[in-house]
Structure 1
């Protein structure tokens, strides 16, 4: 549990650093992200943990993938990442669990992520963290509905969806079972 607390503290610090690096006030960041000033302030002070949707909005404002943002608060990733050491992030509110299978590296463009959604979990992102981000989503277990660039795709175990994301996206697990899928992300 100590590792999770350390990551959340470093994430809060990194989010504050990114805002200051751009010379933005909390009010300006609130306007750019659509997140209230008070929520941003509490987040940067480490008083609250971000949800997937909130991290998605901030990743988009800072033009980073969520994986890259989370990797910036982890130490330098090794070439081989054992299952036990792969960073896992949980959004208890939405039922979303995200494992960085191959943590991103600043010099590389691709990464692999494992995601799990509980039945009826529904996560929406207003915009991609990086316009034109390429994603390959391979469903390993269960079923998921993915909306990308205005088109909804119903995927089941074994199905793979590929797209470049320019607009909003949504991930919904219709149930009755959870869904587990791999996301291969490639920066443009």
Structure 2
């Protein structure tokens, strides 16, 4: 029988550090909860609950906050984890789950402040539909290589159906959307390059 309690404790610790970091970012900019609510389109009460660790952010909420704070999701998550080693073994790669939307995000390559790129593995269950209002950093370069299944990606006003083996690449300036039409899940590798 596997002991899952260390993993549960680790996930809870990361969630608590994430809540604290979100509060720090707001305070560093001198913003009130009302100001952040206005800039992000997230209600003041939801922001307050996020910062106190009472709720976990969904992918969409975290995407909005990353855009306001001009960070990629990987960078924000790296800020709440300990210093990553150069080699990250598969079992040690950080995994973040948004049960509400059906999105699972694995940080395959260790984020590093001196590097501009990172590799992420994404998995969406059938019917998952995630929309982001804006990129965390305007002009963010993305390469999406579908490993299994198919995904419908809308970026900069254009919609693409990307199937297993296909690769879509673009610079993101506006809204984006990832939708898994099914019948099975989609698994893809995402290379993100900061401008």
Fold shared, TM-score > 0.5 on shorter chain: yes
Structure 2 unmatched ranges of 5 or more: 1-7
Question: What's 1:73 paired with?
Answer: 80
1:107 to 109, 114, 117: 114
**Once superposed, what is the RMSD of the aligned Cα atoms?**
0.4
* Alignment coverage as a number of residue pairs: 188
Task: Give the alignment of 1:101-180 within 5 angstroms.
Answer: 101-180=108-187
1:5 to 1, 8, 12: 12
Question: What's 1:34 paired with?
Answer: 41
Question: What's 1:46 paired with?
Answer: 53
CA shift, 1:103, in A, is 2.4
1:78-119 CA-to-partner distances (Å, cap 9, x unmatched) read 100000100000000000000000121111100000000000
Q: Is 1:184 the equivalent of 2:181? A: no
Q: Distance in 2 between matches of 1:154 and 1:77?
A: 34
Q: Distance in 2 between matches of 1:77 and 1:63?
A: 21
TM-score (norm 2): 0.96
CA shift, 1:178, in A, is 0.1
Structure 1 unmatched ranges of 5 or more: none
Q: Secondary structure, in 3 states, of the residue corresponding to 2:21?
A: helix
1:96 to 77, 91, 103: 103
1:13-44 CA-to-partner distances (Å, cap 9, x unmatched) read 00000000000000000000000000000000
1:42-94 CA-to-partner distances (Å, cap 9, x unmatched) read 00000000000000000000000011000100111110000010000000000
Q: Distance in 1 between matches of 2:109 and 2:84?
A: 8
1:111-160 CA-to-partner distances (Å, cap 9, x unmatched) read 00000000010000000000000000000000000000000000100000
CA shift, 1:174, in A, is 0.2
Stretches of 4+ aligned residues off by more than 6 angstroms? none
Q: Distance in 2 between matches of 1:20 and 1:106?
A: 22
Question: What's 1:56 paired with?
Answer: 63
